[in-house]
Amino acid sequence: MDILPPSPISPQSSEHLAPTFSQVAGEAADTIVQPNKVLLVTELPTTPLVAISKDHFPSWKQAFKQALFLFGVTHLIYLFLTYLAALFEVKNFSKTALPLTTLLHRWDRWDTEHFTSIATQGYTAPWKTAFFPLYPFLESVVSFIIHDPFVAGLILANLASFGILMILYKLVAEDFGHEHASRTSLYLSLYPAAFFLAAAYNESLFLLCVLACFYALRHQQWWFAGICGLLASLTRSAGILLVVPFCYEYLRSCNFQWKKIRWQSLNVLLIPCGLGMFALYCGWQFHDPLAFSHAQSVWGRQFRLPPLGFISSLRLIVTNPMLTFTSIHNVIDLSAGLVIGVLVVLSFIGPWRFRQRTLAYALYGAVAFLFVIIFPSTIGAPLQSQMRLVMEVFPAFMVLAMMGKDQKVHTAYMLLSNGLMIFFLLQFLTGYWMV
pLDDT 10s digits, 3-51: 444 444 333 333 333 344 333 333 333 333 333 444 433 333 333 333 3
User: What is d(CA 114, CA 135) in angstroms, rounded to the nearest whole number?
Assistant: 11
Q: Which amino acid is at 242?
A: L
- Give the pLDDT band of residue 90 (cuts 50, 70, 90): confident
Instruction: Flag whether pLDDT at 248 surpasses 90.
Output: yes
- Give the pLDDT band of residue 379 (cuts 50, 70, 90): confident
Mean pLDDT of 220-243: 96
The answer to whether 101 touches 205, Cβ cutoff 8 Å, is no
pTM for the complete prediction?
Answer: 0.86
SS3 301: strand
The confidence score (pLDDT) of residue 57 equals: 66
**261 Cβ partners below 8 Å, 6+ apart?**
250, 251, 254
Percentage of residues in the chain having pLDDT higher than 90: 73
Nearest to 24 by CA among 250, 244, 179: 179
DSSP code for 108: -
pLDDT 10s digits, 162-209: 999 999 999 999 999 999 999 999 999 999 999 999 999 999 999 999
- Give the pLDDT band of residue 373 (cuts 50, 70, 90): very high
Query: Interhelix angle for 149-176 vs 112-121, to 10°?
Result: 120
Mean pLDDT of 362-374: 96
Report how far apart, in Å, the C-alpha atoms of 11 and of each of 14, 17, 255, 430 are. Answer: 7, 10, 24, 55
Ordered DSSP codes for 216-263: HHHTT-HHHHHHHHHHHHHH-GGGGGGHHHHHHHHHHHTTT-GGG--G
User: What is d(CA 336, CA 21) in angstroms, rounded to the nearest whole number?
Assistant: 31
Rounded CA Rg of the chain: 22
Summary count for the chain: helices (H), strands (E): 17, 5
When the pLDDT of each residue in the chain is averaged and rounded to a whole number, the result is 87
Of 43 and 214, the structure prediction assigns the larger pLDDT to: 214
pLDDT 10s digits, 381-398: 888 889 999 999 999 999
DSSP code for 12: S
The answer to whether 248 touches 360, Cβ cutoff 8 Å, is yes
**382 Cβ partners below 8 Å, 6+ apart?**
309, 312, 313, 316, 330, 376
**92 Cβ partners below 8 Å, 6+ apart?**
none
User: What is d(CA 379, CA 369) in angstroms, rounded to the nearest whole number?
Assistant: 21
- CA 156, 157, 162, 164 dihedral sign is positive
Bridge partners of 30, per DSSP, are 41
**181 Cβ partners below 8 Å, 6+ apart?**
58, 66, 168, 169, 170, 171, 172, 173, 401
